[in-house]
Amino acid sequence: MRPQRPKSKRGWLSKAFLLLVAVVAIGGVLVAAGVVTLPSAVTKAFSGRGSSNVARYLIDTATRAPFRMAVRSGGAVNSLKSVTLTSKVEGTTTIISIVPEGTMVKEGDLLVELDASTLVESEKQQVIAVTQADAALKKAEEGLAIQKGQNESDKAAAELALLLANLDLEKWIKGDYPQQVSKQEGLVKVAEEELERAKEVYEYSKRLGQKGFVSSNQLEADRIAMTKAEINVEAERDLLRVLKDYSNKRSVEEFTSLAAEAERAIERVERQGIAAIAQFQADLDAARLTLDVEKEKLERARTQIANSKIYAPQAGEVIYAVEDGGRGDQEDVIKEGASIRERKPIINLPDLSQMKVDVRIHESLVSRVRTGLPARIRIDAVPGKVFRGKVLSVSSVPVNGDWMRPDLKEYACAVSIDYTPGEDAQLKPGLTAEVEIIVQERPDVLQVQFQSIVTAGQTRYAYVLENGKAVRREVVTGAANDTHVEILDGIAEGEKVILNPRTHFSDELAALGALDEPTSEKEGGENAGGATPAVGTPEAGGPSGAAAGPGGQQTEGGPAAGAADGAGRPDPAQFFARLDKNGDGGVTKDEVEGRFAENFDTMDANKDGKIDQAEFAAGARNFGGGRPGGGQGGRPGGEGGGRGGEGGGRRGPGAGSR
């Protein structure tokens, strides 16, 4: 749930001003009419610097009482343990059903059901895709196995071819060639023997022919037979020579080449097998990856279907989520039938048994706040009840300022609330709360109201009544809150001090330079005692500490911290400028709120629907003695109050702001 931010600074300005104006005006009328009388501690007259002025002194007594230093800031109640439920369905879907806002639910209860019809159909299609991918994977696995077997067969065939080639080479060298040489040599020898025999026959026939025993035809036949034998010998010898010189070399080279080619074929077959295996392996990996992807899609589809039903992770109250910056458009409304995009917040489910307050601390005060500090919490919806708590966390970086105050730096702070559900009032997120962080608390501190202290340079003075006379004393102050100042030296317990010295001793103070010196920076920061930020409380020994003024946070200061000028009165022109939001020189009714808006028509003297600066100043004088935002109203016939409003003047190192 979007936490409610504390009210704007301008809202506090207008409301604080109107509240103070109303209280001062009513109180003045009642006192003047004699309906009520001021306490004797304030109105008691003493003889002193002129009997005519004594009756108009505002008197206070220096007392010892508890003294509290605190930082107060407004904020909004939130759950300490809050869960924001968002749509986890991809894309845009529609709310089918949702539990009514404000329903108290238990852990595990069904809160929202989104339209999942498209997702169900997608799941069916994805089941088919997974089945197909699984079949493709099995096919790729079998293809790889077949290829591995084929590679083994091809390699074995190549190795056999190499072996046979080597055997053929060896057979020729050691078998066929020697055999053929031997055979051819035998043929040569036979031819030579036949030649010798043919020669012998021819010679014999020749001798017989000379004797007349053989005819010439027979002799010629024997000569021809001898010639054939000679030719046959030469032919056989040529065959032997060709066998040795050519056929042998050719056969050796041929068989050697076949063996080398067979050896290269083995390497080629191995490489082809590796390439084929790689291709089948890639197909297998792709099929396996495809199956995994399809399975993931199926699982995501089923997860999306499961995400269409949102269950309560913890017990709590159902609060429909509203995005920051939403304009209330139809598409931003959480209801049945509304379109919901992915990651859009739907329900905030705060655990109402553990609550906190989210506040913002101004940069000038954040160094004073630390985890573990106790806190007092007042919640508007539970009047009269003060809750206890402690600081849980302080942000280390400032939150972004709004467009009207981009330079404003505030730090988020979470404060726990100690309460028991069922026994105490039921707290809900968004309730407006006021948090008082106790920085320091002492039980016995001598103190006076801050209006009684005047600063001139580095010196502080107070006017004390001695024997009925007002005597200026130099005092040493310590810590300060928004109502009282600690006295370290210069005033004793029980002494009477004047609360309005600027009115009665203006000439004397002007001579000291006290009226001309702004106090917001010289006194509004670190005081003489090095005090931490402070807020007055009823227990602080004085009037009840008021809520934060226009500055938003009540802070520490010196004796007159936060005053706009030396007299403690803010400049009405500056106050008017802060109300004039659009800077047109006039304040319209839509620029104010609360009691200011209720009294708008009264302050609008010329009835033109706009309050100009003159009308504003006149209204301020009529209602509050000329001090819008002033701390204490004036009495009829008397002077104005002492201290200016918290929001007036320049912001010193210790001044708070929201």
Q: What is the 3-state secondary structure (H, E, C) of 613-635?
A: HHHHHHHHHHHHCCCCCCCCCCC
pLDDT at 595: 60
pLDDT over 90 at 43, yes or no:
no
pLDDT at 639: 36
CA distance 99 to 112: 7
pLDDT at 577: 67
Q: Would you tell me how many other CB atoms lie within 10 Å of the CB of residue 187?
A: 17
CA distance 656 to 367: 13
**Mean pLDDT computed over 329-338:** 74
pLDDT over 80 at 315, yes or no:
yes
Q: Tokens in use for 610?
A: 């706009």
**CA distances from residue 236 to 180, 182, 285, 289, 519 in whole angstroms, order as listed:** 12, 12, 70, 76, 143
**Mean pLDDT computed over 196-222:** 86
pTM: predicted TM-score of the whole model, two decimal places:
0.48
Closest CA to 313 of 42, 65, 112, 20: 112
pLDDT at 544: 36
Segment (H or E) for 25:
helix 9-33
pLDDT at 620: 65
For 230-244, 438-452, 605-619, which range has the lowest pLDDT when averaged over its residues? 605-619
Name which residue leads in pLDDT, 283 or 211. 283
**Band (391; pLDDT cuts 50, 70, 90):** very high
**Mean pLDDT computed over 266-289:** 92
pLDDT over 80 at 454, yes or no:
yes
CA distance 613 to 21: 17
Q: Mean pLDDT: which of 128-142, 254-268, 628-642 is highest?
A: 128-142
pLDDT at 622: 59
For 177-191, 312-326, 571-585, which range has the lowest pLDDT when averaged over its residues? 571-585
The tokens 């310590």 sit on which residue?
478
Return the percentage of the chain with pLDDT > 70, whole number.
72
Q: Tokens in use for 650?
A: 């320049």
Q: Mean pLDDT: which of 27-41, 189-203, 311-325 is highest?
A: 189-203
pLDDT at 74: 93
**Mean pLDDT computed over 156-173:** 89
**Band (75; pLDDT cuts 50, 70, 90):** very high
**CA distances from residue 454 to 448, 457, 482, 512, 549 in whole angstroms, order as listed:** 12, 10, 15, 10, 22
Report pLDDT digits (tens) over 502-552. Answer: 888 888 888 887 765 444 333 333 333 333 333 333 333 333 333 333 334
Q: Would you tell me how many other CB atoms lie within 10 Å of the CB of residue 317?
A: 20
Report pLDDT digits (tens) over 471-492. Answer: 999 999 998 887 899 999 999 9
Q: Are 470 and 505 in contact (CB under 8 A)?
A: yes
Domains of the chain, earliest start first: 66-107+334-442 (2.40.30.170), 119-308 (1.10.287), 446-513 (2.40.420.20), 580-616 (no CATH)
Q: Cite the beta strand spans of 557-645 per DSSP E.
A: 587-588, 610-611
Q: 211: helix, coil or strand?
A: helix
Q: 54: helix, coil or strand?
A: helix
pLDDT at 612: 80
**Band (423; pLDDT cuts 50, 70, 90):** low
**Mean pLDDT computed over 390-394:** 95
**Band (646; pLDDT cuts 50, 70, 90):** very low
For 53-67, 97-111, 269-283, 380-394, which range has the lowest pLDDT when averaged over its residues? 53-67
**Mean pLDDT computed over 336-350:** 91
Mean pLDDT of the chain: 77
The tokens 């006149």 sit on which residue?
618
**Mean pLDDT computed over 374-398:** 93
What's CA 203's distance to the chain center, in Å? Answer: 130
Q: Are 497 and 62 in contact (CB under 8 A)?
A: yes
pLDDT over 60 at 148, yes or no:
yes
Torsions phi, psi for 451 (to 5 deg):
-65, -20
pLDDT over 50 at 377, yes or no:
yes
**Band (311; pLDDT cuts 50, 70, 90):** very high
